[in-house]
Structure 1
Amino acid sequence: MTKWEYVTVPLLVHATKQILDNWGEDGWELVQVVPGPNPEQLVAYLKRPKGGAA
């Protein structure tokens, strides 16, 4: 059975793609994006198999 680790990442609306691309390079997969504490910010939830990049 795969074990997962998770992280939450603040996303700025003007740099969302670059931020997600950087995390994706480290093996993180986007699970969900939710509104952040203000209109200029979102929060991304990511996961990857435990032990680092696949």
Structure 2
Amino acid sequence: MRHQPREGYEMPKWEYFITPLPVHTPGQILNNWGAKGWELVQIVQHEQGGSVAYMKRQIVEDAS
């Protein structure tokens, strides 16, 4: 059974972004993206070394 949203409620829409994280400055990279409205979803470390961050931010549609 699918959940039906309340009448008049619109589900939020998201855009996603994946970025590599440098070993020496991951916090700086994440803070820069956070200042632009991106939220961290997950960090994945690769077997070959290095990490990538999965980011998302809500798409705000103009109501006009």
- Tell me if TM exceeds 0.5: yes
Are 2:15 and 1:5 aligned? yes
TM-score where L is the length of structure 2: 0.71
1:42 aligns with 51
**Structure of higher CA gyration radius:** 2
Greater share of strand: 1
The Cα shift of 1:13 comes to 1.6
RMSD, aligned α-carbons: 1.4
What count of residue pairs does the alignment treat as equivalent? 50
The residue identity in structure 2 corresponding to 1:10 is P
The Cα shift of 1:49 comes to 0.3
TM-score where L is the length of structure 1: 0.82
Q: How high is the sequence identity, in percent, across the aligned residues?
A: 54
Q: Which has the higher contact order (CA 8 A, sep 6+)?
A: 1
What residue ranges of structure 2 are gaps of 5+ in the alignment?
Answer: 1-10
What residue ranges of structure 1 are gaps of 5+ in the alignment?
Answer: none
